[in-house]
Amino acid sequence: ATPTAIMVGTGVGAGAGVLVKAGDHLELAHKVNVVVFDKTGTITSGRPTVTDIWLADGTTEAELLSRAGALERQSEHPLGAAVVRCATDASVQLVDASDVQAVPGRGIKGVVDGHIVRVGNRRWLEEMGMTSFPDEQLANFESAGKTAVIVACDERVLGVLAIADTVKDDARSTVAKLQRMGIEVWMITGDNERTARCVAEEVGIHHVMAGVLPADKSAEVDGLRKLGRVVAMVGDGINDAPALVAADIGIAMGTGADVALQAADIALMRGNTHGVVDTIRLSNATMRKIR
Ligand code: ADP
Ligand code: MG
């Protein structure tokens, strides 16, 4: 590509809210044949809310929210913020928690009244040796596309918070446009399979990698590259940074974490998914001008 074409392309991109860090990414983008989207905060708004609460026998809603909220107020995870908002809205007094520790891709734990409280997903609690879960409730929440967050005290389930996040307005049309351009679209998430499939279906994505631990996202991107694909990874979170680096092109949501923006080659300042289409179109146009 001539320096002039790249310069013009970069300028046009900036006008459309697509910030390209270096010209070679603009050249490479037209070769992309796989786009991998992170789910939370990229396909979805990333501002989830608690929509349903299921209580085990003997637990009150105030008890559940006060314990879960006590831990989650020390969390930086969007799910944590949803739990705290729910507790605040219900005017629940949060109890004291000590030794609070976030466990990436799994949940958060701490000590409340001498008991170990865990707030997180089923897989994690199974790893911790728990065997009894409200299967039917979990299935109902997950097949509605909600993240089922389990609150456990020692080895006992106290209840489940169903947390929903809405998909971005433009996500479905972005996916359709990419697919019409012959690009394979994937979604990757740490969330469970059932919830992930439901959200993916809502926006027309057929390829889903679910239950992927934060540390493994980049390996999944590498796997696609090893198959010979040219991969663009689109994400917003701290968790996504290694995958943004591993991809041929890392695209960060301008609304995302600083770490993600630093790791990315391209930033979408409008925070919507359509910027991915704009990026590839811009690259096509730039390359046409040079050849
Ligand atoms: P994503 O890939 O969607 O950004 P994460 O890797 O951050 O997801 O988290 C994966 C899963 O781990 C969540 O869907 C949730 O089940 C659980 N989890 C992580 N952090 C928390 C938390 N603070 N509270 C409750 N659950 C959590
Ligand atoms: Mg995210």
**CATH code of the domain in which 121 resides:** 3.40.1110.10
Q: What is the DSSP letter of 105?
A: T
- Confidence label for 169 from pLDDT (cuts 50, 70 and 90): very high
Domain boundary among 125, 142, 164: 164
The verdict on 139 and 171 lying in the same domain is no
Q: Which atom of ligand 1 is nearest to the CA of 195?
A: 14
Query: Is 199 in the same domain as 227?
Result: yes
- For residue 20, the domain's CATH number is 3.40.50.1000
- Tell me whether 0.90 is exceeded by the ipTM: yes
Please determine, for residue 188, whether its predicted confidence score (pLDDT) is greater than 80: yes
Q: Which of 39, 67, 86, 149 to mutate to test the pocket of ligand 1 (most atoms within 8 A of CB)?
A: 149
Closest ligand 1 atom to 121 CA: 16
Average of pLDDT values for 17-29? Answer: 90
Same structural domain for residues 54 and 126? yes
Specify the number of domains making up the chain.
2
Domain that includes residue 83, residue range: 49-164
Same domain, 40 and 128: no
Global model pTM greater than 0.90: yes
- What are the pLDDT digits (tens) for 239-273? 899 999 999 999 999 988 899 999 999 999 998 99
Both structure tokens of 111: 């000590």
Of 144, 164, 184, which residue sits at a domain end?
164
If one residue of 36, 45, 121 were mutated to test the ligand 1 pocket, choosing by the most ligand atoms within 8 A of its CB, it would be 121
Nearest-angstrom CA–CA distance, 184 and 207 = 8
Q: 241 and 207, same structural domain?
A: yes
Do 92 and 201 sit in the same domain of this protein?
A: no
DSSP 153-197: ETTEEEEEEEEE-PBPTTHHHHHHHHHHTT-EEEEE-SS-HHHHH
Q: Do 38 and 175 have their domain in common?
A: yes
How far, CA to CA in Å, does 291 sit from each of 26, 30, 33, 284? 15, 13, 20, 11
- Pairwise CA distance, residues 158 & 151, whole Å: 6
pLDDT interval class at 291 (50, 70, 90): low
- CA 106 / ligand 1 centre spacing (Å): 6
- The answer, yes or no, to whether residue 87 has pLDDT greater than 90, is yes
Indicate if 223 and 269 belong to the same structural domain: yes
